[in-house]
Structure 1
Amino acid sequence: MAVILITGGARSGKSRRAELRARSFPGQPIYIATAEALDAEMDERIARHRARRGSDWIEREVPLDLVEAVSGTDGAGARLVDCLTLWLSNLLHAGRDWSREVTRLADALSRQRGPVVLVTNEVGLGIVPDNALARAFRDAAGIMNQTIAGIADEVEFVVAGLPMKLK
């Protein structure tokens, strides 16, 4: 069992790094996508990610029910969850209790038999946002990242495509 958290800023190379890590395990990898194509730009981003990955992945689109997706695929190959930050945004937008969901995810991850690689954005390195919603999101993301990093076996921080091992 391995839970690997890969974090970094936007366009840091964290998704590529996570794909490489997930492929390093035996079996066909499973890509658990939390993004939703709500507009043309996001549709294009998703298409670019799919093209880069290739067709050797089993794909699951899971904008909200991540705990069930991770638990339901345990034992079927390495799972790559991309990304926790979008999942958090989806939870907030849907009015779900994000704190409860993050706790549920941490509990589920600690019980996995197969490897799980998770991608998340580090959003706390910039200036303090100027509005309450952005500050609440930044704070929630920081708490989520700390929670998942706490139960992870490995944590990497990616900068300019270069991974740094934190744990």
Structure 2
Amino acid sequence: MSVTFVLGGARSGKSAYAQALTEAAAVRSGGRPVMIATAEALDEEMAARIAQHRRERGEVWRTVETPLELAGAVRGLEPGAVAAIDCLTLWLSNLMFAERDVEAATDELLEALAATHAEVTLVSNEVGMSLVPENALGRAFRDAAGRMNRRVAQQADHAVVMFCGLGVALKGSPSMIVPAHLSASR
């Protein structure tokens, strides 16, 4: 069907934007939106964030938690499903800490996206427009995120970058707009 890529900095409104797009598509299709979540509750603060995101989405969303096997989750979507993946940079850090092959995992994800018959919106952080990290792991993460984001954007049908809660179309439809009350909530 279609793949939309939503990129932005921390608290830029990208999750709210992706959720609004996914909810609207689910309403059009008469289906239930799916959240494919990559975060793990490894501490109390992250557990609270995850709980808050679930409350904000509400009961209508079905959640699939997959910190590492993202391609498998995409392949598991039923034809006509509508899903949001939040977020690729958490998935990337999970892969790096698990010492997985990031390039191979990205290849597998892109293959799954190319073969899916679902509508998928992916969220990722833009980490390359800030300071150069002072340590090797931080620089490796920044570089890997940049490569991954570039590859996903190239394959996506639509790409949007979020600034201050406002979506700017980079590729595809320029009419994708999030209601202000949604973009201000995150």
TM-score after normalising by structure 1? 0.98
Question: Percent same amino acid among aligned pairs?
Answer: 50
Consecutive unaligned residues in structure 1, runs of 5 or more: none
2:72 aligned partner: 68
CA distance in 1, matches of 2:81, 2:32: 6
Q: Is contact 2:14–2:123 with CA below 8 Å preserved after alignment?
A: yes
Q: Is contact 2:161–2:168 with CA below 8 Å preserved after alignment?
A: yes
Q: Is contact 2:32–2:60 with CA below 8 Å preserved after alignment?
A: yes
Consecutive unaligned residues in structure 2, runs of 5 or more: 172-186
The number of residues matched between the two structures is 167
CA distance in 2, matches of 1:132, 1:119: 25
1:18 aligned partner: 18
Q: 1:58 Cα deviation (Å)?
A: 0.8
Question: Which stretch of the first structure deviates more once superposed, 103-112 or 152-161?
Answer: 103-112
Question: Following superposition of structure 1 onto structure 2, how do residues 40-51 of structure 1 map, counting pairs within 5 Å?
Answer: 40-51=44-55
Q: Is contact 2:80–2:119 with CA below 8 Å preserved after alignment?
A: no
CA distance in 2, matches of 1:45, 1:139: 26
CA distance in 1, matches of 2:20, 2:131: 31
TM-score after normalising by structure 2? 0.88
Q: 1:83 Cα deviation (Å)?
A: 0.3
CA distance in 2, matches of 1:143, 1:133: 15
Aligned with 1:130 (options 130, 134, 137): 134
2:35 is the counterpart of 1:31 = yes
CA distance in 1, matches of 2:128, 2:4: 20
2:118 is the counterpart of 1:114 = yes
Q: 1:156 Cα deviation (Å)?
A: 0.3
CA distance in 1, matches of 2:72, 2:102: 15
Q: Is contact 2:81–2:117 with CA below 8 Å preserved after alignment?
A: no
Q: 1:74 Cα deviation (Å)?
A: 3.4
Q: 1:76 Cα deviation (Å)?
A: 5.4
Q: Is contact 2:5–2:123 with CA below 8 Å preserved after alignment?
A: yes
Secondary structure at the aligned position of 2:35 is classed as strand
CA distance in 1, matches of 2:87, 2:149: 11
1:8 aligned partner: 8
Query: Which residue identity does 2:168 align to in structure 1?
Result: M
